[in-house]
């Protein structure tokens, strides 16, 4: 509550609401009410996100809130809508997509000046549903709820999750499942693919309207630039740099998104649309978390390259506003921002407060040893937080992770030599490392346990896991088992675009 002490928390009826994005007109959205969910019940409610948007968490107990969360009601003053966009899906351009099962109920304006779109996902068919039913299943909804909040706990930009409403109403995927609606919150859900839709239609005036809207709302420093060409070029560069920094954060923590299509890329540099994601366990740059991705386009190690590819697609969509030379400069800015951000994050992970010429070589050698040994990424870096500079080289716990211990000892000697040039003492260094190397991440088996319990109407594990992931860097000794490597049965877990 301390973070929000300066905000006046209000009731649902007192929220300051506006149409937001839909005020651009029906060229950009379909005005559409949600489809009611049969006999809904509340599965999860997130008081942190309620406070983020200025809502009193006690409002989550009201039947009026449940109706909104289930898509069974709307804010009376605002017409809900679904947004239209296009996108490159697995490298192939699809000329029209859109919010096929997500409906925005309106924009909430918070007293501190922030704005948040209130969106219900799984709330029924829209004009963009194609042949889908517009519903979400409880399984996928829990996965997005947990992972968006896990990413927030890790300090990684993301959409947020306010609530889950469930129902016994059946939904048919590979097998019959129960339906659910996720309430998610973000300053904007505007995507790279929104610009692509109008560019490839030749509607360049709409591209300009979108760019002007985004700049005015979310990039006020750029709005002050008088020269049009410079303003739009700066917008592209800013989006590219935000995307690069997001890719660096994903790589540093071992997160794989799974479906980095341009319609899943946020212009604000947020992690958007959680489907087949996964956190690295055995370190492997070729890790593919999405079994639909047979070619490995979105493998973990390729994410920075795909991020750049997607920024080039956005540059093409902005080519009516941004000159080719300026677009090229923005792509160079992406490369520089990723390199700078990623190296800084790695230095922090390894406990180095100062940069040295051969640091990248040291990091690369470590990742090579992790890959050779199939060592768990999260467990390794957390254990590294206990390696003191002056301890005996052969008595550390980390060695137990490596089948070829000689490779570890060789690297460890180089690492200890590097630590000799660090100015801070062990206690300070190790505390700083624990603040950036999480002990807990959302492993798929942890999510699966919460899902299976929730399918039986037991939400205690979902609540425990959510609470754990709010503080991923803390020791939490009473929950030590959540830091364990995956059990053998977890190998059978498979996630795809339907997850």
For range 309-333, the mean pLDDT: 98
pLDDT tops 90 at residue 344: yes
**pLDDT at residue number 393:** 57
pLDDT tops 50 at residue 230: yes
**pLDDT at residue number 2:** 43
For range 419-442, the mean pLDDT: 95
Question: Two tokens at 286?
Answer: 């070729």
**pLDDT at residue number 224:** 96
pLDDT in tens, 131-154: 889 999 999 999 999 999 999 999
Least confident piece of the model among 327-341, 363-377, 483-497: 483-497
pLDDT in tens, 276-315: 999 999 999 999 999 999 899 999 999 999 999 999 999 9
Share of the chain above pLDDT 70, in %: 97
- d(CA 82, CA 219) in angstroms, rounded, equals 24
pLDDT tops 60 at residue 499: no
Helix, strand, or coil (residue 178): strand
Instruction: Tell me the average pLDDT of the chain.
Output: 94
- The structure's pTM equals 0.96
Share of the chain above pLDDT 90, in %: 88
Q: For residues 353, 305, 192 and 332, what is the CA-based torsion angle, rounded to 10 degrees?
A: 70
**pLDDT at residue number 82:** 98
What lies within 8 Å, CB to CB, of 492 at 6+ separation is none
**pLDDT at residue number 5:** 47
Backbone angles phi, psi at 268, to 5 degrees: -95, 0
pLDDT tops 60 at residue 6: no
Catalytic residues: 263
- d(CA 214, CA 212) in angstroms, rounded, equals 6
């Amino acid at each position: 509550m301390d973070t929000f002490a300066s905000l006046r928390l209000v009731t649902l009826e007192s929220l300051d609401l506006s149409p937001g994005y839909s005020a651009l007109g029906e060229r950009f959205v379909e005005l559409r009410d949600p489809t009611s969910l049969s006999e809904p019940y509340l599965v999860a409610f997130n008081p942190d996100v309620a406070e983020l948007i200025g809502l009193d968490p006690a409002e989550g107990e009201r039947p009026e809130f449940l109706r909104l969360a289930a898509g069974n009601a709307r804010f009376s003053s605002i017409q809900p809508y679904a947004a239209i966009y296009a996108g490159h899906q697995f490298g192939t351009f699809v000329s029209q997509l859109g919010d096929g099962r997500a409906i925005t109920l309106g924009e909430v304006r918070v007293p501190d000046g922030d704005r948040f779109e209130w969106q219900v996902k799984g709330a029924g068919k829209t004009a963009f549903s194609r042949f889908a039913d517009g519903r979400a299943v409880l399984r996928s909804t829990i996965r997005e709820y947990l992972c968006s909040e896990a990413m927030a706990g890790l300090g990684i930009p993301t959409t947020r999750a306010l609530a889950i409403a469930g129902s016994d109403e059946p939904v048919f995927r590979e097998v019959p499942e129960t339906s659910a609606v996720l309430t998610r919150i973000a300053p904007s859900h505007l995507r790279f693919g929104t610009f692509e839709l109008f560019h490839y239609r030749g509607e360049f005036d709409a591209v300009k309207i979108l760019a002007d809207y985004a700049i005015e709302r979310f990039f006020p420093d750029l709005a002050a630039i008088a020269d049009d060409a410079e303003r739009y070029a700066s917008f592209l560069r800013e989006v590219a740099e935000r995307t690069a920094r997001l890719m660096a954060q994903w790589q540093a923590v071992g997160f794989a998104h799974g479906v980095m299509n341009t319609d899943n890329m946020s212009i604000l540099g947020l992690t958007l649309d959680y489907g087949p994601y996964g956190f690295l366990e055995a370190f492997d740059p070729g890790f593919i978390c999405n079994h639909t991705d047979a070619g490995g386009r979105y493998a973990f190690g390729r994410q920075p390259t795909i991020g750049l590819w997607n920024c080039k697609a956005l540059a093409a969509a902005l080519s009516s506003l941004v000159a080719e030379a300026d677009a090229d400069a923005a792509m160079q800015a992406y490369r520089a921002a990723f390199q700078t951000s990623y190296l800084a994050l790695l230095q922090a992970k390894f406990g180095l407060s100062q940069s040295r010429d051969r640091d990248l070589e040291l990091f690369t050698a470590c990742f090579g040893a992790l890959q050779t040994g199939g060592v768990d990424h999260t467990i390794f870096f957390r254990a590294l937080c206990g390696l003191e500079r002056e301890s005996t080289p052969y008595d550390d716990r980390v060695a137990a992770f490596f089948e070829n211990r000689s490779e570890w000892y060789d690297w460890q000697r180089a690492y200890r030599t590097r630590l000799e040039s660090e100015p801070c003492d062990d206690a300070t260094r190790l505390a700083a490392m624990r603040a950036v190397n999480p002990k807990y991440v959302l492993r798929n088996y942890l999510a699966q346990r919460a899902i299976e319990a929730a399918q039986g109407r037991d939400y205690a594990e979902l609540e425990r896991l959510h609470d754990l992931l709010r503080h991923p860097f803390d020791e939490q000794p009473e929950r030590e088992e959540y830091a364990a490597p995956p059990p053998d049965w977890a190998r059978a877990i498979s996630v795809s675009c339907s997850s």
